[in-house]
Amino acid sequence: MFFWQLPHFWLIIVKNRNDYNTAGFKTFPVQMTEKKIKNLIFAWVLFTTIFLVFFMLTGLAFNKYLSAALIPVNGLFIYLFYRMLYVWSGNKATRGAFILVNTFGMLVMVLFILNAIL
């Protein structure tokens, strides 16, 4: 869960960057361009999903049926997240990426619960 919190807050910073600056709050991306922040967010999310796939493939986190269901969902998540960060533009794209990260994190939590029950 720790890994998913960082992109969650970084996307809030990207979306509300001007508001933070106007209010006088110092955020870490003051010296970074929006493109560099997006690269950081995408790299972090990609690493986290690769880490999740590692646990799925080794059987450490999920049984084989849940893993088989989650691997294509994971690929779709990365594809959509990439498009929202780099292809689409504006606050709607950032908001969509934010919602997508949170939805995927919630899905993973639900699958962990299902795995424990099954």
Each of the 118 residues of the chain gets a pLDDT tens digit; together they read 666 777 777 777 777 777 777 777 777 666 777 788 888 888 888 888 888 788 777 766 677 777 777 788 888 988 998 988 888 877 788 788 888 888 888 888 887 787 778 7
Residue 109 lies in a domain: yes
- What is the tally of helices (H) and strands (E) in the chain? 5, 0
Q: Tell me which H or E stretch contains 49.
A: helix 34-58
Residue 19 lies in a domain: no
pLDDT digits (tens, 9 = 90+) for 46-72: 888 888 788 777 766 677 777 777 788
Residue 94 lies in a domain: yes
Q: How many structural domains compose the chain?
A: 1
End-to-end Cα distance, the chain: 21
Structure tokens at 27: 């955020």
Structure tokens at 62: 């999920």
Q: Which domain holds residue 43?
A: 2-10+32-117
Structure tokens at 39: 């690269």
Cα separation, 39 vs 35, in Å, equals 6
Residue 66 lies in a domain: yes
**What is the CB neighbour count within 10 angstroms for residue 68?**
11
Residue 16 lies in a domain: no
